[in-house]
Structure 1
Amino acid sequence: MKTTFITLAFLAFSFSVSAQKYEFQTVKDIEAEPVISQGNTGTCWSFSSTSFLEAEIIRITGKKIDLSEMYNVRHTYPKKAWNYVMRQGKIQFGEGGLNHDVINSAKIAGLVPQSIYPGLIGNASKHDHSKMAEELEIVVKKHANPEVKLDPKWKAEVNEILDRYMGANVIEFTFEGKKYTPKSFLEMTQLKLDDYVTISSFTHESFYKTFILDIPDNFSNGSFYNLPLEEFVANIDNALEKGYTLALDADVSEKTFSGKYGIAVVPENESDEKIILTEIKAEKRITPEFRQQEFENFNTTDDHLMHIVGKVKDQKGTMYYKVKNSWGNDQPNIGNGGYIYMSVPYLKLKAISVLVHKEALLKNTRKELKL
């Protein structure tokens, strides 16, 4: 009887040690605007980048400004339409984009507060671009036909749809008692848009050079600085340590990326795919070769853009990136208040790129990149 009791006690102890539910503790938390939802739209790229710019305004000026995500979207769609029509429909046209598209938009069209351009019409309280995207696609496909003479009015058709679903363009507005144009408002934020760079890590291109990443949503042919994988991660860590946030492009199609549990991990064993969402399990070691392989076989794609705002650690001391998502924060369907706690292995494997201030980079990296 005594032996049986000891055996059961040992088994119970062993189970409690091996089955450890996540317990997270904040390591680094950089101030940013609250989690919000992109609704039924494919505009995560603007929510990610706009949240990033909001955090940069806080870092630079200490001022909290809720920027309009949809203003950037409104000014990017005509560029996407032009690209599709002038290439005669030989490329993708959709709702997607990348971080540099918001930077490009802001350089030309400036920025405005959310209160001035919410991107909602009538009594709408949530974003839904399903019908707008359908109508835009019909228009651009019609005018991308090289066998039909291009009607110069096609751009007006695109703008009419955007105005009807999102609202007309902003020319001048008043914010906190002062009058601004979108360009003068951008100047007031003190953002220097030329100071932001995108870094990545792929072995099919030379390191410490810029290259155009061949992914469907890179319609604007944005350039990326290519770094060795460990240096790519080291620069992310350095930025966070210095108080800079980063806009992230990543693959979220994995079973072990969960908005419900607020976790993103890469199990060492496939049999742990379900349990690792709630319990600590060993993770896979990620090499540059495996990362490249997963990219080239389409297991890693540019699915979703988010915002890295800090770090947390579990009870074993393992670090995770605190990633602000744009799927809202409603419980119980969203875990960790709308943030994703992303493990280092997951980031190494599934992060396509990050947008960051050039001064947040390591000194040696900036020297190599001539920044």
Structure 2
Amino acid sequence: MKNNSLLILLIFTNFYSFSQNYEFETTVDVETTDVISQGNTGTCWSFSASSFLESEITRLTGKQIDLSEMYTVRHTYSDKAWTYVMRQGKAQFSQGGLAHDVINSVYRYGLVPNEVYSGLAHGQKKHNHSKLADSLTTVLKTYLNDTKVYPTNWKNDVEQTLDFYLGKDITTFTYNNKQYTPQSFLEMTTLNPKDYVTITSFTHQPYYSNFVLNIPDNFSNGDFYNVTLDDLVAITNDALKNGFSIELDCDVSEKTFSSKHGLAIVPADGSSDALIYLSTEKDITAAYRQQEFENFNTTDDHLMHITGMLKDQNGTTYYKVKNSWGKTGVRNDGYIYMSEAYFKLKTISILIHKDAVPNAIKGKLDLN
């Protein structure tokens, strides 16, 4: 018994003596705004894409502007409600969305700063859309249940619901002592919504084509450009090294995606100990990636903002990913350090400025 105890102690000691904690070195760091929280909402798509556009404004103009996430959310709810009704309820109506929904909203409705449209009504300090979403759903389903006896105009009811929970829509405002409309404010930022493209990598569609990706939150039928997995990684790495940040849509349901530890990895043995100790990761192939997508182990759970690159003590590449869950109770000040393996396996798509795409790949995609 004594010998067995000594053997167990020896194994335990050897395990921890050979285990290494993570040590990271930042290699690329694109300027961005502070980490904030989306609160009790399903609007990560607006928070992450707004953060992405804030970095784009800084890259293009040198200005730091805190954009209103809720101005975009408000208009996207209206567009989503229209789609839901016109499809007679045969579409998704939820809080979710994708990055191109933000780009579509910017193109149609412009931008406003957060200080003039916070979306926090009735003295709220944090975003909470549970009652808003339920109220909108009730309006739409009641109308569709019997359009002939619906007592009022459903479109007006949707707008009044948004007015109540988010605040009235805004058409003119003052910012830095200058008068703007949402469209003139967009012009001031120099952003051009037509410059942004969504890129993915799946084998069920031809590479270097574009197609509508059939995922639940793609209510607007947005187009995705399809590239090889190696090219998806190359586009991401090249963009970051050249000062562009990236909008990311990915799966965060894995037990080795942890905001608590600030890590997202794909350990070869599947052990959650890899969140603490450096470990070997799985080799991610296009076939394995496709398999995980088709069996629904990879879904479009969450959108975030890639703002940099790091490497660990073994030289493994990680992405510095800005989350929208705030800084409380998380490591890395609200950022996730995502390994290249996790990115390859769990990325649904990226949204990026077309000038960030390497010329050789841009030519294959016919991007002007």
Query: What TM-score does the superposition give when structure 2 sets the normalisation length?
Result: 0.95
For structure 2, the 5+ residue unaligned runs are 1-6
**Pairwise CA distance, 1:122:** 2.3
Q: Deviations over 1:220-265 (max 9, x none)?
A: 0000000011111110001001100000000001111011111000
**CA drift at 1:315:** 1.7
Cα distance in 1 for partners of 2:242, 2:293 equals 30
2:64 alignment partner in structure 1: 64
User: Residue 278 of structure 2 is aligned with which of 243, 263, 280?
Assistant: 280
Residue in 1 aligned with 2:228? 228
Could you tell me which residue of structure 1 aligns to residue 3 of structure 2?
A: none
The 1:146/1:368 distance shift into structure 2, 3 A limit, reads farther
After superposition, residues 56-135 of structure 1 pair within 5 angstroms as: 56-135=56-135
Aligned twin of 2:326: 328
Matched residue type, 2:319 = Y
- After TM superposition, the structure 1 = structure 2 runs for residues 261-276 of structure 1, keeping only pairs within 5 Å, are 261-270=261-270, 272=271, 274-276=272-274
For residues 295 and 108 of structure 1, what CA distance do their matches in structure 2 show? 32
Q: Give the corresponding residue for 2:173.
A: 173
CA-CA distance at 1:144 after TM superposition: 2.5
**Matches of 1:11 and 1:336 in 2, distance apart?**
32
Which of the residues 347, 357, 360 maps onto 1:361? 357
> What's the offset of the Cα at 1:316?
1.7
- Secondary structure in 2 aligned to 1:321? strand
Per-residue CA shift, 1:185-217, capped at 9, x if unaligned?
A: 000000111110000000000111110000000
**Could you say which residue in structure 2 is the equivalent of 1:3?**
none
Partners of 2:263 and 2:337 within 8 A in 1: yes
Question: Which secondary structure state, in structure 1, belongs to the residue aligned with residue 319 of structure 2?
Answer: strand
Partner of 1:23: 23
Once residues 151 and 284 of structure 2 are traced to their aligned partners in structure 1, the CA distance between those partners, rounded to angstroms, is 51
CA RMSD, aligned part only? 1.8
In 2, distance between residues paired with 1:192 and 1:220?
A: 20
> Whole-Å Cα distance in 1 between the matches of residues 241 and 17 of structure 2?
32
Q: How many residues align?
A: 361
Q: CA deviation at 1:24?
A: 1.4
Contact 1:44/1:305 (<8 A) preserved = yes
Partner of 1:348: 344
Using the size of structure 1 for normalisation, the TM-score is 0.94
Displacement, 1:153?
0.6
Contact 1:89 1:145 in 2 (8 A): no
Q: Deviations over 1:1-52 (max 9, x none)?
A: xxxxxx99x9798545531111211111000001000000000000011000
Runs of 4+ in 1 over 2 A off after TM superposition: 10-18, 144-152
Q: Which residue of 2 aligns with 1:49?
A: 49
Residue matched to 2:198: 198
In the alignment, which residue of structure 1 is the partner of 2:306?
308
Q: Distance in 2 between matches of 1:80 and 1:11?
A: 58
Q: Give the Cα separation in 1 of the matches to 2:230 and 2:64.
A: 34
> In the alignment, what sits opposite 2:4?
none
How far apart in 2 are the matches of 1:58 and 1:158?
35
Residue 146 (structure 1) shift: 6.4
Identity %: 56
